[in-house]
């Protein structure tokens, strides 16, 4: 369980946004089981203004009429009332209905939407609510959060990190695996992806997830990935699978950094599962005595936290020279080397800075990772100052 005393940063951010009478529709989006609903309830516990909280998952049938009823209930509460609708994606045509209500609403009503299906929420927002909402991404728990809430050390984080709901099962491997498999991975694949996107071969799609999780922080060609799937296909199929897993916050594919856009698009991806727990679920417990495996998972952890920042994350390689991550945001470029005991060439940063001299050199180790995880943006900004 999530400690009731621990509050994630998005709660305060939402609170500040709702202080403005000009607040847009606020939307929480992110993976399953990371505390979105818990955070909203923490927000409501100290809210002074009236609110109406409802969950579309509680209804056997929900439709436009149900949404109208909730809207009217919130309006009846008076000025600055807040309407919160959880699992909004369960309501058919929810985005079109919310758009119509919002465009005709009295200015005093505030609205917060959230749900467990990232793909469905994304579709509705892009198609109907453009210009009317602010998006808050509530992503996997970082090392610093799990350390404060549950006393994690780095080894524990590299084995189990990401999902606070799995914490009670860490001492029972079978229960932990079952929770991760059924409550998280299968819920995302079966409910969020396969019910909303066209996938011709669901078994092959699930197999692709297992294969991708076996390559944490590793560059791998689409053709090699295709060769491991137990069926015929093409590289476009593999790219489509990776795109779906990225949209559902499970696995991200980093592209090679280049000043030429066409080279970025044509590069082999570097696979980053969204948190260490996904890798552990696929391959078994990490061997902390194996510097190669531990190094890969530590690099995964750094990459996963970088991906939570605004901006873009790449990797870079030229012949034998490589840089683990290249982070680009607001005109600044950070060349990031991850050092964890894994054997690799040390020439990458120098080679990259010769080509891109404005980049900031950054080295992240197990020793300074806690500081980085506390505030990644501040950590990188201090180095660039």
Contact 167, 2 (CB under 8 A): no
Q: Among residues 137, 159, 194, which one ends one of the domains? A: 137
Query: Is residue 3 in some structural domain?
Result: no
Specify whether 122 is located in the same domain as 188: no
Specify whether 185 is located in the same domain as 101: no
Residue 161 confidence (pLDDT) above 90: yes
| pTM given for the model | 0.90
Specify whether 114 is located in the same domain as 246: no
Specify whether 147 is located in the same domain as 180: yes
**CA 227/CA 234 separation, integer angstroms:** 9
**CA 150/CA 324 separation, integer angstroms:** 29
The residues, any chain, with a CB within 8 Å of residue 353's CB and separated by 6 or more, are 335, 359, 361
Contact 149, 2 (CB under 8 A): yes
- Least reliable range by pLDDT among 127-131, 177-181, 342-346, 369-373: 342-346
Specify whether 16 is located in the same domain as 109: yes
Domain carrying residue 50: 9-137
pLDDT score recorded for residue 379 = 94
Q: Which whole number is the average pLDDT over 86-111?
A: 86
Specify whether 22 is located in the same domain as 156: no
Specify whether 13 is located in the same domain as 101: yes
Query: Is residue 4 in some structural domain?
Result: no
**CA 67/CA 55 separation, integer angstroms:** 11
Q: Angle between the 36-45 and 9-18 helix axes, to the nearest 10 degrees?
A: 50
Taking CA atoms, 49 is separated from 44, 81, 167, in Å, by 9, 6, 34
pLDDT in tens, 175-194: 999 999 999 999 999 988 99
DSSP letters, 26-86, are EEEE--TTSSHHHHHHHHHHT--S-EEEEEGGG-SS--HHHHHHHHHHHHHT-TT-EEEEE
DSSP letters, 98-165, are HHHHHHTS-TT-EEEEE-S-HHHHHHHHHHH-TTSEEEEE--PPPHHHHHHHH---HHHHHHHTT-GG
- Least reliable range by pLDDT among 196-205, 323-332, 352-361: 196-205
Q: Among residues 105, 137, 169, which one ends one of the domains? A: 137
CB neighbours of residue 202 within 10 Å: 12
pLDDT score recorded for residue 261 = 59
DSSP state of 257: P
Specify whether 165 is located in the same domain as 132: no
Residue 50 confidence (pLDDT) above 90: yes
Residue in 188, 306, 184, 300 with CA at minimum distance from that of residue 248:
188
pLDDT in tens, 109-137: 899 999 877 777 777 777 778 888 999 99
Specify whether 274 is located in the same domain as 133: no
Selection from 85-89, 188-192, 312-316, 346-350 with the highest mean pLDDT: 312-316
Rg, Å, the chain Cα set: 22
Who has greater pLDDT, 106 or 380? 380
Q: CATH number, domain at 48?
A: 3.40.50.300
How many domains does one find in the chain?
A: 2
pLDDT score recorded for residue 1 = 46
Q: Which whole number is the average pLDDT over 265-293?
A: 86
Residue 232 confidence (pLDDT) above 80: no
291-314 as b/e: b if 16+ CB within 10 A: eebbbbbbbbbbbbbbbbeeeebb
Report percent pLDDT > 90 for the chain: 63
């Amino acid at each position: 369980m999530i400690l009731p005393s621990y509050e994630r940063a998005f709660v305060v951010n939402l609170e500040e946004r709702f202080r403005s009478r000009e607040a847009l529709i606020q939307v929480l989006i992110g993976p399953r089981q990371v505390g979105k609903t818990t955070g909203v309830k923490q927000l409501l516990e100290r809210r002074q203004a009236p609110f109406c909280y409802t969950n579309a998952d509680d209804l056997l049938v929900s439709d436009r009429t149900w949404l109208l009823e909730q809207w009217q209930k919130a309006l009846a509460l008076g000025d600055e009332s807040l309407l919160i609708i959880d699992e909004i994606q369960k309501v058919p045509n929810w985005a079109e209905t919310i758009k119509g209500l919002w465009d005709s609403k009295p200015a005093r009503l505030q609205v917060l939407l959230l749900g467990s299906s990232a793909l469905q929420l994304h579709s509705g927002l892009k198609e109907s609510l453009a210009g009317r909402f602010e998006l808050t991404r509530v992503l996997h728990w970082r090392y610093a959060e799990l350390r404060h809430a549950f006393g994690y050390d780095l080894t524990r984080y590299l084995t189990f990190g990401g999902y606070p709901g799995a914490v009670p099962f860490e001492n029972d491997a079978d229960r932990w695996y079952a929770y991760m498999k059924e409550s998280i991975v299968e819920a995302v694949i079966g409910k969020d992806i396969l019910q909303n996107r066209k996938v011709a071969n669901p078994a092959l799609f699930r197999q692709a997830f297992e294969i991708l999780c076996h390559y944490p922080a590793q560059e791998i060609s689409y053709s090699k990935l295709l060769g491991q799937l137990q069926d015929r296909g093409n590289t476009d199929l593999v790219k489509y699978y990776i795109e779906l897993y990225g949209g559902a916050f499970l696995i991200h594919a980093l592209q090679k950094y280049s000043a030429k856009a066409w080279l970025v698009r044509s590069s082999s991806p570097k696979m980053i599962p969204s948190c260490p727990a996904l890798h552990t679920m696929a391959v078994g417990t990490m061997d902390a005595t194996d510097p190669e495996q531990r190094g890969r998972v530590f690099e995964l952890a750094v990459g996963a936290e970088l991906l939570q920042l605004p901006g873009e994350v790449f990797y870079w390689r030229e012949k034998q020279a490589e840089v683990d991550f290249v982070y680009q945001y607001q005109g600044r470029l950070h060349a990031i080397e991850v050092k964890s005991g894994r054997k690799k060439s040390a020439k990458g940063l120098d080679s990259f800075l010769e080509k891109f001299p404005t980049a900031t050199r950054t080295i992240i180790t197990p020793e300074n990772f806690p500081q980085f995880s506390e505030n990644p943006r501040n950590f990188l900004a201090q180095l660039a100052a």
